[in-house]
């Protein structure tokens, strides 16, 4: 048995189930799950049609690199969305089976399991960063997001002794759970550190397309590199996904793009890992990446819910509008676990305790006293959840 498995902490949703235990919520209310970031808007019909129209291709083994058509669609979308010069679809983009799989497997590719290398992670964070690091034989180093600086991750706090042993830095922008987007200046600082110490930046950008209609599209890593004259995207890999953008989390379709030398090695790993995308999924993915109309409608629905939630809840809880994503990262009275448990048991509304999404680092857990609220359901369900939350807050100790 792999002894590194013993280093893994329970996943946040497993901890949530343990928190509730055998207790049942009030039967007067239907369940509303605001705890998991699973989009529940309808999958666009044209994506379903493209999937069904290519089911006959299941008779063939897919290639790890994917079809030329898929790689061209990915390159074309990246060029359009992030104002990039032409990408080489043969060497600078690679399809993956969702961003989770890609984040995990790139860590196994980049880390030397015998070297005890460091991986710098934001805190709070997407839990795959830690698990992938531990199973690859690395050691995570957490950098706390500072609420006093709008949840900025201050990399100047990382000591030289850590940087000299760092092989990877996970970047999440827009951030999960805070929704914060890195500025060009922050990217410039990270690129300078990467040049100095030789580590790879792995940018998780799966929320890049969930942003306000009247707001600027979030800056991406490739776009920042282009602005700063970093030709060829040295030591930079960016990951994006259709799950949130196109409401197809079950499709498991994503990509990685950037440094061609790193992608060549990653493709080798994936050939043995067995990570080739289903041919019908590839066809559906091409259709999705080539259409923006459904993404704009998706954005409109999220903005309506985010605005409704802010307007009704902000007088009662201190809300900060995120730059992007469909989460509110909310400071609550008292313990985040007590708050989440009581809300669930009394009103059958599930939110995720913030301490489950972070680790104690440098003396404190930056998720303590926070909850993550995912506005993934319908507008009507969101309104119902808001009403229950307000009823709950009216009687909850402040």
Q: How many CA atoms lie within 13 A of 112 on its CB side?
A: 8
Check if the beta carbon of residue 211 is closer than 8 Å to that of residue 299: yes
* The pLDDT of residue 302 is above 80: yes
Q: How many CA atoms lie within 13 A of 139 on its CB side?
A: 10
* The pLDDT of residue 148 is above 90: no
pLDDT one-digit tens code per residue, 208-251: 999 999 889 999 999 999 999 999 999 999 999 999 999 999 99
**Confidence band of 398 (pLDDT split at 50, 70, 90):** confident
Q: Please state, in angstroms and rounded to a whole number, the distance separating the CA atoms of residues 162 and 334.
A: 34
Q: Provide the angle, in degrees to the nearest 10, between the axes of the packed helices 260-273 and 98-110.
A: 100
Q: Please state, in angstroms and rounded to a whole number, the distance separating the CA atoms of residues 3 and 13.
A: 23
* The pLDDT of residue 384 is above 90: yes
Question: Structure tokens of 331?
Answer: 């400071």
The pLDDT value given to residue 155: 94
Q: Please state, in angstroms and rounded to a whole number, the distance separating the CA atoms of residues 20 and 23.
A: 6
pLDDT one-digit tens code per residue, 82-95: 999 999 999 999 99
The pLDDT value given to residue 208: 98
Q: How many CA atoms lie within 13 A of 305 on its CB side?
A: 30
Question: Structure tokens of 329?
Answer: 């990262």
pLDDT one-digit tens code per residue, 128-139: 999 999 999 999
- Phi, psi values for residue 227, rounded to 5°: -60, -35
Global pTM reads 0.96
State the CB neighbour count (10 A cutoff) for residue 152: 17
The beta-carbon contacts of 41-46 under 8 Å, at least 24 apart in sequence, are: 41/247, 41/298, 41/301, 41/376, 41/378, 42/247, 43/246, 43/247, 43/248, 44/246, 44/247, 44/288, 44/291, 44/294, 46/287, 46/291, 46/294
Calculate mean pLDDT across residues 246-259: 97
The pLDDT value given to residue 215: 86
**Confidence band of 150 (pLDDT split at 50, 70, 90):** confident
What residues form DSSP beta bridges with 372? 329, 352
Calculate mean pLDDT across residues 322-334: 97
């Amino acid at each position: 048995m792999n002894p590194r498995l013993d280093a893994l902490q329970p996943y946040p949703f497993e901890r949530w189930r343990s928190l509730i235990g055998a207790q049942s919520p009030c039967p007067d209310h239907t369940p509303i799950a605001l705890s998991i970031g699973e989009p529940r808007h309808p999958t666009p019909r044209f994506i379903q049609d493209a999937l069904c129209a290519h089911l006959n291709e299941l008779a063939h083994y897919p290639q790890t690199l994917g079809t030329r058509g898929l790689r061209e669609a990915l390159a074309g979308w990246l060029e359009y969305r992030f104002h990039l010069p032409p990408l080489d679809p043969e060497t600078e983009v690679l399809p993956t089976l969702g961003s989770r799989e890609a984040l995990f497997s790139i860590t196994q590719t980049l880390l030397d399991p015998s070297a005890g290398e460091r991986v710098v992670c934001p805190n709070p964070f997407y839990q795959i960063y830690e698990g992938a690091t531990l199973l690859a034989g690395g050691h995570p180093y957490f950098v706390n997001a500072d609420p006093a600086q709008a949840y900025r991750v201050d990399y100047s706090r990382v000591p030289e002794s850590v940087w000299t042993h760092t092989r990877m830095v996970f970047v999440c922008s827009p951030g999960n759970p805070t929704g914060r987007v890195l500025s060009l200046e922050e990217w410039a600082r990270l690129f300078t550190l990467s040049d100095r110490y030789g580590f790879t930046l792995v940018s998780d950008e799966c929320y890049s397309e969930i942003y306000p209609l009247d707001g600027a599209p979030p800056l991406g890593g490739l776009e920042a590199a282009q602005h700063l004259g970093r030709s060829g995207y040295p030591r930079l890999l960016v990951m994006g996904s259709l799950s949130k953008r196109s409401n197809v989390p079950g499709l498991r379709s994503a990509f990685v793009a950037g440094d061609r030398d790193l992608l060549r090695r990653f493709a080798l790993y994936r050939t043995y890992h067995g990570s080739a995308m289903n041919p019908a999924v590839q066809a559906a993915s091409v259709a999705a990446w080539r259409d923006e109309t459904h993404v704009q409608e998706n954005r409109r629905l999220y903005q309506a819910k985010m605005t409704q939630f802010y307007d009704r809840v902000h007088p009662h809880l201190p809300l900060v509008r995120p730059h992007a994503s469909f989460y509110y990262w909310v400071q609550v009275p008292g313990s985040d676990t007590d708050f989440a448990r009581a809300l669930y048991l009394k009103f059958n509304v599930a939110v995720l305790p913030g301490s489950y999404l972070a680790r104690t680092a440098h003396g404190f857990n930056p998720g303590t006293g926070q909850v993550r609220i995912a506005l993934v359901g319908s507008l009507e369900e969101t309104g119902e959840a808001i009403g229950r939350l307000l009823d709950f807050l009216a009687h909850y100790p402040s």
